[in-house]
Structure 1
Amino acid sequence: MRANIGLDWFFIGYCLMSLTIALICDAEAVLHDPATYGKVEPLVNWPPQAVVLALHEWCRRFDPLLGARPLWFLVCFYMEMTLQVPYYIAATYAFLHGCEWIRVPTLVYASMSLTTMAIVLVEQFFGEFATPAPLVILGSYLPFAIAPVFFLYRARGTSMFAAKTKQA
């Protein structure tokens, strides 16, 4: 681990939080169909039943989009599991150790996340599956729309970890 890690702890923490959420909540969206849950045996018993039931209650009360899981939204979850989960793991390592190779993947990740979140938030507020609780949804989704802006800012320029020097 490098000595001058500073604000990179934000990126490390965000990646670890997002990884945890992806492996629990997003995995549930990929592995379970809310319409058949409890009626057929799931292929995989992950996440634990209490988490699945809590997520289904969340969908019922606040997030009809997550409950409906239209095809385009499922594609977002598959992209999360296949592209973003590996990024979170690699980025955690890279931010800890100051690895410059993470710059381009960070630009791709942040751009992809911003695009996806713009579409999801418009659907959440104005679409077919609009939420009955906009402030709850805003509070829960907004961090995933704002953090990628910080990732883009961090990855600007030619180096993410080299010491920045002021020019006279």
Structure 2
Amino acid sequence: MSANLPLRERRIDIFFAVVFSVFTITSLIADLMPTLGFDFSRPSDNFILNSNYWYAHDTDPLFMDPPVWMRIVTGLSALVYMPFYLVLVYALVRGRNWIQLPAVIYATMISTITGIIVFGVEFFGEPQWQTPNPVKFLSFNLPYVLLPLLLLVRMRKPEPFTRRF
């Protein structure tokens, strides 16, 4: 078993640690609100609710009045992915190889649930919802699918922290 490279030599892991730290915050702000049933269908004085209103109104109409299945998806993000992000950031910074399998499972789940189900319904499904503005929708949401897939590529080899990307 080889020694892991120091973090300063694993710049891609610094990038991933920053990105997934931000994902922790966005899961808390954006995904917890619809999961708990907060109403953000109109502007609010509350910063978090107003942020969700702004996003939903301008970018993602389905998010404004989510059906039960969408609340399950946001619940996964808020209650499962968010704690995982904290563990992932720790493992990336400390170079813990045990994160490899959980990271692969996470990336597979995210790409399946968000990439296929959510994007599919948003663009091709349920006619009762207004189709989102594709440019805004993809610019906000594509990183949440692409970056986990890049993490999957990062974690593809045994002992991922022993070599540069």
Change (3 A) 1:7 1:58: closer
* Structure with more relative contact order (C-alpha pairs < 8 Å, separation 6 or more): 2
1:59 maps to which residue? Answer: 56
**Which ranges of structure 2 fall in alignment gaps of 5 or more residues?**
1-5
2:3 maps to which residue? Answer: none
Residue by residue, what CA displacement relative to the aligned partner does 1:37-81 show, whole Å, maximum 9, x if unpaired?
89xxxxxxxxx8122023124323331110121111111111112
SS at match of 1:7: helix
What amino acid is aligned across from residue 139 of structure 2 in structure 1? Answer: G
CA distance in 2 between counterparts of 1:80 and 1:59 reads 17
List 4+ stretches of structure 1 deviating above 3 A: 35-38
Change (3 A) 1:59 1:6: closer
1:41 maps to which residue? Answer: none
Aligned residues between the structures: 155
TM-score (norm 2): 0.84
Greater C-alpha radius of gyration? 1
How many angstroms does 1:160 deviate by? 1.3
- Asked if the contact 1:62–1:131 (Cα under 8 Å) also holds between the matched residues in 2, the reply is no
How many angstroms does 1:131 deviate by? 2.6
**Which ranges of structure 1 fall in alignment gaps of 5 or more residues?**
39-47
Percent of aligned positions with the same letter in both sequences?
A: 26
User: Please, what is the CA RMSD of the aligned residues?
Assistant: 2.2
TM-score (norm 1): 0.82
CA distance in 2 between counterparts of 1:51 and 1:133 reads 22
Residue by residue, what CA displacement relative to the aligned partner does 1:112-168 show, whole Å, maximum 9, x if unpaired?
11001221111111222243411110111111121111111011122211236xxxx
